[in-house]
């Protein structure tokens, strides 16, 4: 049974000392590949560097909304240089919870990232927090994107998730689905069409129960997988199979070759 973690920050400082051991542990448990997104130029470059050391690590590159004030022609050009190694533009989006940059600057940064996705002919990995109205409006204007994308760590509600599905996006579910109070995420995981669901960790954050509050170990995606399977009334093997297929459909041949799908 092969599983793909479609979003984990193995390029984060929290994993700097032991990422190789954690990947080895996860691979032994059947996690075949890890999509590692960048959030700025250095972390995008770090994702690419890790992929050169470990073939199961597959990089994405982009400018996160927290880093929107770093937007510049040089930053965009530095991201362009990483296109040949990347399978997606991300993690990009809008975050109106923390507001580390103004809404206007975040929107400008997002539009620039979407332009990169068109230029590179790559899918996008979207971070959306308390910004669905603006995101849906912008995506409607930009549609169709050449390779679609995923709503990473989807944490809104089923009604909103359906709007992203209608635009052709995949839905990424993290360990937050195991948190008892987040019934809306459980509803999304249960109702999402089988051909549009992805599983991710967002490590080092959002460790699922029973590990909540700890630095996430990549192998713990299996806890999230089991929980989603229970919600959907399916076996872990079935959910692992179709989510791996979905990941390969979105991220392309490089991932397919790694997991031999």
The percentage of the chain sitting over the pLDDT mark of 90, rounded to a whole number, equals 98
Taking residue 205's Cβ as centre, other Cβ atoms within 10 Å add up to 16
The one-character DSSP state at 96 is T
The rounded mean pLDDT for the chain is 97
The one-character DSSP state at 217 is P
Residue 227 backbone phi and psi in degrees, to 5? -65, -45
Cβ neighbours of residue 35 under 8 Å, at least 6 residues apart?
4, 5, 6, 7, 8, 58, 59, 60, 87, 88, 125, 200, 247, 251, 255
Cα angle 172, 216, 87; round to 5: 45
Cβ neighbours of residue 240 under 8 Å, at least 6 residues apart?
1, 2, 3, 30, 225
pLDDT tens digits, one per residue of 37-64: 999 999 999 999 999 999 999 999 999 9
pLDDT tens digits, one per residue of 239-261: 999 999 999 999 999 999 999 87
pLDDT classification of 210: cutoffs 50, 70, 90: very high
pLDDT tens digits, one per residue of 57-107: 999 999 999 999 999 999 999 999 999 999 999 999 999 999 999 999 999
Do 239 and 228 meet the contact criterion of CB atoms below 8 Å apart? yes
Query: Omega of the bond prior to 27 within 30 degrees of 0, cis?
Result: no
Q: Which domains does the chain have, with CATH numbers?
A: 3-259 (3.20.20.140)
């Amino acid at each position: 049974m092969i599983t793909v973690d479609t979003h984990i920050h193995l390029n984060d400082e929290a994993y700097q000392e032991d990422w190789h051991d954690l990947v080895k542990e996860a691979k032994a448990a059947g996690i075949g590949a890890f999509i590692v997104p960048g959030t700025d130029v250095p972390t995008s470059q770090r994702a690419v560097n890790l992929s050169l050391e470990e073939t199961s690590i597959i990089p994405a590159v982009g400018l996160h909304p927290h880093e929107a004030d770093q937007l510049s022609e040089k930053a965009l050009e530095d991201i362009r240089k990483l296109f040949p190694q990347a399978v997606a533009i991300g993690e990009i989006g809008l975050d109106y919870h923390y507001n580390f940059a103004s809404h206007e600057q975040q929107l400008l940064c997002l539009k620039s990232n979407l332009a990169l996705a068109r230029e590179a002919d790559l899918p996008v990995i979207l971070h959306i927090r308390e910004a669905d109205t603006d995101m849906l409006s912008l995506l409607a204007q930009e549609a169709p994107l050449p390779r679609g994308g995923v709503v990473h760590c989807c944490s809104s509600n089923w009604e909103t998730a359906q709007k992203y599905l209608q635009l052709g996006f995949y839905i990424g579910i993290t360990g937050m689905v195991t948190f008892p109070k987040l019934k809306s995420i459980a509803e999304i995981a249960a109702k999402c069409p089988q051909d549009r669901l992805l599983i991710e960790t967002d490590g080092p954050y959002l460790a699922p129960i029973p590990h909540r509050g700890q630095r996430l170990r990549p192998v713990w995606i299996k806890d999230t997988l089991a929980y989603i399977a229970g919600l959907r009334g399916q076996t872990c093997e079935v959910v692992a199979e179709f989510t791996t297929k979905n990941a390969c459909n979105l991220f392309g041949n490089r991932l397919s070759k790694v997991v031999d799908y």
